[in-house]
Structure 1
Amino acid sequence: MSATQFKHIVALGSSFASGPDIEPIIDKAANRSANNYAHLLAEKLGAELTDVTVSGATTDTIIDTPQRLLNKTYPPQLDSLPADADLVTITAGGNDLEYAGSMIKLGSAGRLSTDPHTHPLATQLARGGVPQPTSDDIDRAATNLVRIVDAVRDRAPNAQVLLVGYLAVMGPDTCYSHEVPLDDATVGAFRHLGDQVDEVFARAATTSGADLIPMNEYSLDHALGSSEPWVRGLPKQLREIYRLMPFHPNDAGMRAVASTIYDHLQTN
């Protein structure tokens, strides 16, 4: 099917799909933007969109576990999958491995550690360091992604399924700064964690046969510290974290993901 033939897109996933704090926000509890990559892609294709992405989602909350945020409960995302969907995008698994959440926690710790008054809090936040998923953790996340793909095919048999990977946050140009208050070892550990999230997607694509859009690979030169980052670092003031979610895609990043998917659909 050519890109111009898609009529109904469905977006499943977590915050790297929902677009937290990218205006305009159309669902505050889900922190879902009208300018996330699914909306931009639907506009390019002239297609209807069903966007059920929710910040903080895991593979479980997509499959069969309700997700509660700000006194609002979201049913499992697959429950909202219409049978007439002909293109389904999936960006999930990062929260299964504590990817972005741990960056926010350790980045905040790095910023707070520079002030003697907040140093004890920084020590608490930094406890445990960068997550180190086991092979079982990676297997479970990959298996759940395959379960999502299988469920999509059961419920929407005519849908093309795309596994859309996470944008790179830490790249070759990332180093200590006010925006990324992490030492080289921690930056390297987060790059490795990003590679493990990538591995989840690669395994799921191989097993399920779904198309893979490896955004981590495509965006390494647009990670933090680059001349044109596609993600945000820590804001100038930590109190702005709830208005500008750090270590997540920015507007340019969402446009890049939408364009990459569109180009993939044109050539495959």
Structure 2
Amino acid sequence: MTRYVALGSSMAAGPGIPPTAPGSPLLAMRSQRNYPHLVAQRLGLDLVDVTYSGATTAHVLGESQHGEPPQVDALDGSESLVTVTIGGNDVGYVPMLCAAALPAPLRWLPPLRGMRDAGARERELAAVAPKLIEVGRVVRARAPLARVLFVDYLTLLPPQGSAPPLSAGDTDLGRRIAAELERLTAAAAEGTGAAVVCAGQASREHHPWSAQPWTNLPSRFPVPIPGHTAPLHPNAEGMRAVANLVVAHVEERPGT
């Protein structure tokens, strides 16, 4: 079996990394050089990439996204590998950081201030835990012969210190969200018989403010610019690094 299905959000899709995957929906912002494509090339697998920017666990499990079917519908039971990168959009992780990077007058507008509300983020983190478990459960049921790998998010903030233009409070909240997402992703994998690829842990020294970043700095005016990788998302080097981690897991841990 050589079928590989990639599920997930923009952290797997690779918005702005050229070239765009042929035939992919415009709003998916799916790169031909995202980690699923690189993994498939390295391992000689037949890729079905349904990653989609902005996806939540609901879009993986049962909701249409911009007219596309739920991502799990791509599974037909013949898969040898399934990767899943999801959860951040459920808790507003990157939107929170993007709002925090805006100039001060904009940060305090009511909708944007709400994105930076610690209480709301904590409630959403609590709510996403069972959703991640359900993703693992459904994927395992639909692809019973596959190796299922949850791939968590690359590090988006320095482990310590400042992250200009973010305030200290927003930076601390972002770190809290990231740490809890990593924990919940690992728990969902363990609880459903899947495995986890720890991209966050592997990229601690490759945050956007580092000398060799695997993800991009925030923008003071974070609007999509054609031909440019998205702020606070993986760059091409980051996607190669994640692909290396996935390939290493597959080759070094047969059957897990």
- Scaled by the length of structure 1, the TM-score of the pair is 0.85
Pair 1:203 & 2:170 matched: no
Alignment of 1:101-250 (within 5 A): 101-107=95-101, 109=102, 112-113=103-104, 119=105, 121-124=106-109, 126-128=112-114, 129-132=116-119, 137-172=124-159, 175-177=162-164, 181-235=165-219, 238=221, 241-243=224-226, 244-250=229-235
Question: Which of 244, 253, 258 matches 2:238?
Answer: 253
Pair 1:264 & 2:249 matched: yes
Pair 1:23 & 2:9 matched: no
- Find the aligned partners of 2:138 and 2:94 in 1 and give their Cα distance: 26
Alignment of 1:57-76 (within 5 A): 57-68=55-66, 73-76=67-70
Flag the 1:100–1:135 CA change in 2: closer, same or farther, 3 A.
Answer: closer
SS at match of 1:50: strand
Q: Which amino acid aligns with 2:45?
A: A
> How far does residue 139 in structure 1 lie from its aligned partner after superposition?
4.4
Moved more, 206-215 or 140-149: 140-149
Flag the 1:67–1:13 CA change in 2: closer, same or farther, 3 A.
Answer: same
Q: How many residue pairs are counted as aligned between the two chains?
A: 246
Which residue in the other structure is 1:48 paired with?
46
SS at match of 2:154: coil
Flag the 1:156–1:15 CA change in 2: closer, same or farther, 3 A.
Answer: same
Post-superposition CA distance 1:137-185 (Å, at most 9, x none): 43432322222222222222210100100111002366344xxx11223
Flag the 1:42–1:155 CA change in 2: closer, same or farther, 3 A.
Answer: same
Flag the 1:213–1:239 CA change in 2: closer, same or farther, 3 A.
Answer: closer
Post-superposition CA distance 1:202-251 (Å, at most 9, x none): 2202211211111111111111211111100135x737534432111111
- Find the aligned partners of 1:58 and 1:134 in 2 and give their Cα distance: 15
Flag the 1:159–1:98 CA change in 2: closer, same or farther, 3 A.
Answer: same
- Find the aligned partners of 2:72 and 2:133 in 1 and give their Cα distance: 13
Aligned-pair Cα RMSD in Å: 2.0
SS at match of 1:95: coil
Which residue in the other structure is 1:116 paired with?
none
SS at match of 1:32: coil
- Find the aligned partners of 1:35 and 1:263 in 2 and give their Cα distance: 18
Consecutive unaligned residues in structure 2, runs of 5 or more: none
Consecutive unaligned residues in structure 1, runs of 5 or more: 1-5, 114-118
Asked whether the equivalents of residues 97 and 131 of structure 1 are also in contact (C-alpha less than 8 Å), the reply is no
Q: Equivalent pairs: percent with the same residue?
A: 35
Q: Which amino acid aligns with 1:267?
A: E
- Find the aligned partners of 2:143 and 2:112 in 1 and give their Cα distance: 44
Post-superposition CA distance 1:106-157 (Å, at most 9, x none): 21x2xx23xxxxx3x3421641325445766434323222222222222222
- Find the aligned partners of 2:88 and 2:200 in 1 and give their Cα distance: 12
Moved over 3 A (4+): 130-140, 239-244
Post-superposition CA distance 1:1-40 (Å, at most 9, x none): xxxxx61111000110111111111232111111100000
- Find the aligned partners of 1:176 and 1:138 in 2 and give their Cα distance: 23
Larger Rg over CA atoms: 1
Which residue in the other structure is 1:3 paired with?
none
